[in-house]
């Protein structure tokens, strides 16, 4: 089967076909997700919390991201491999280009994801000019957790929503190939998905985004502590419980494709 590319994903959006994404951090899970039909594997800096046991994503290094990207790349032969730029690896366009180049050359990444709105426009232009596909990340920005005062829903008031909408359009104009919206009201997720031409991935952004992503360990019910409201334990789901991990992942893919996930209780 052919490798999924940004062109594949754009065609899926144009057809109105839902896209699935999950985080992956190692070869074994990458192979399982690939076989289950997940279109995008995200090597997220969330590994700092779910793999390393840290309180935030901030301590994760570029070398660590490259290592986990290499692991995932060995297990994946179909899905598009997207990788987070870790905290301060994209502090300026020149550094971002060097970091993204290492993630692609050494790690095997096919797309990088970076957090931030207007401040990232020059960086997005620089990366795309050098042939590096970019997914921009708006809404809740985990790397800015201390500035935001915690993990809070973004875009609730008129001004904040307008800023996110404007940033989405500006990032698309700068050359971003995809957009990820995290923890924004469902109505805002729907509006942005309709008003930009590139695919929009949602996590806590409502059912009308073109794609959905979850942290793998959250949807398998193995992340310690309270599960985020926007997630769902697909292993404990009565229809998937007897099917093990592979069955749970297939259930997730089916739920996203059918539109049954996310449901109202997963939205803001």
Q: What is the pLDDT of residues 197-208, one digit of tens each?
A: 999 999 999 999
Confidence bin at 240 (pLDDT 50/70/90): very low
Say what the pLDDT of residue 239 is: 56
- Residues identified as active-site: 182
Least confident window among 16-30, 82-96, 216-230:
216-230
| 3-class secondary-structure state, position 252 | helix
pLDDT class of 264 with cuts at 50, 70, 90: confident
pLDDT for 238 beyond 70: no
Tokens of 261: 């996930």
What's the pTM? 0.95
Is 1 a domain residue? no
Is 192 domain-assigned?
A: yes
Higher-confidence residue: 144 or 74?
74
pLDDT of residue 96: 97
Q: Is residue 241 scored above 80 in pLDDT? A: no
Average pLDDT of the segment spanning 94-112: 98
For residue 205, the model assigns a pLDDT of 96
Q: Examine residue 85 and state whether it is found in any structural domain, yes or no.
A: yes
The radius of gyration computed from the CA coordinates of the chain, to the nearest angstrom, equals: 17
- At 90, list the tokens: 């994209």
pLDDT over 90, % of the chain: 83
CATH of the domain at 258: 3.20.20.60
In percent, how much of the chain has pLDDT > 70? 97
Residue-range definition of the domain harbouring residue 71: 6-266
Which region among 6-15, 18-27, 234-243 has the lowest average model confidence (pLDDT)? 234-243
In a domain, 216, yes or no: yes
Strands 80-84 and 19-23: unpaired
Closest CA to 80 of 38, 125, 114: 38
Q: Please check whether residue 141 lies inside any domain of the structure.
A: yes
> Which tokens in the block code for residue 204?
């806590």
Single out the residue of 55, 68, 58 nearest to residue 23, CA to CA.
68
Burial of 237 (0-12, 13-18, 19+ CB in 10 A): middle
Mean pLDDT across the chain:
94
d(CA 40, CA 212): 10
Q: Give the torsion through C-alpha atoms of 169, 170, 172, 175, to 10 deg.
A: 170
Confidence of residue 242 (pLDDT cuts 50, 70, 90): low
Asked if 76 contacts 100 with a C-beta cutoff of 8 angstroms, the reply is no
Domain count, the chain: 1
Is 177 a domain residue? Answer: yes
Quote the pLDDT of residue 227.
Answer: 81
Write phi, then psi, for 41 (nearest 5 degrees). -105, 125
Q: Is 15 helix (H, G, I), strand (E, B) or coil?
A: helix
């Amino acid at each position: 089967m052919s490798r999924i590319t940004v062109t594949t994903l754009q065609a899926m959006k144009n057809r109105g076909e839902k896209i699935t994404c999950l985080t992956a951090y190692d070869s074994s899970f990458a192979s399982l997700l690939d076989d289950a039909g997940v279109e995008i594997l995200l090597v997220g800096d969330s590994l700092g919390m779910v793999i390393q046991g840290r309180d935030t994503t901030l301590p994760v290094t570029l070398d660590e991201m490259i290592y986990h990207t290499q692991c995932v790349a060995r297990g994946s032969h179909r899905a598009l491999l997207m990788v987070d730029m870790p905290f301060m690896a994209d502090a300026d366009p020149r550094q971002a280009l060097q970091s993204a180049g290492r993630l692609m050359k050494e790690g095997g990444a096919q797309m990088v994801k970076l957090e931030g709105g207007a401040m990232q426009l020059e960086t997005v232009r620089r990366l795309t000019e050098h042939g590096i596909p970019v997914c921009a990340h708006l809404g809740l920005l985990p790397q800015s957790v201390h500035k935001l005062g915690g993990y809070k829903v973004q875009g609730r008031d008129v001004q904040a929503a307008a800023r996110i909408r404007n940033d989405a359009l500006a990032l698309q104009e700068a050359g971003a190939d995809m957009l990820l919206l995290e923890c924004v009201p469902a109505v805002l997720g729907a509006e942005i998905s309709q008003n930009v031409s590139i695919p929009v991935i949602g996590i806590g952004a409502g059912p009308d985004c073109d794609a959905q992503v979850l942290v793998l360990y959250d949807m398998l019910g193995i992340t310690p502590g309270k599960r985020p409201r926007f997630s769902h334990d697909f292993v404990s789901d009565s229809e998937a419980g007897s099917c093990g991990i592979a069955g749970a992942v297939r259930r997730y893919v089916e739920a996203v494709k059918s539109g049954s996930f996310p449901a109202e209780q997963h939205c803001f």
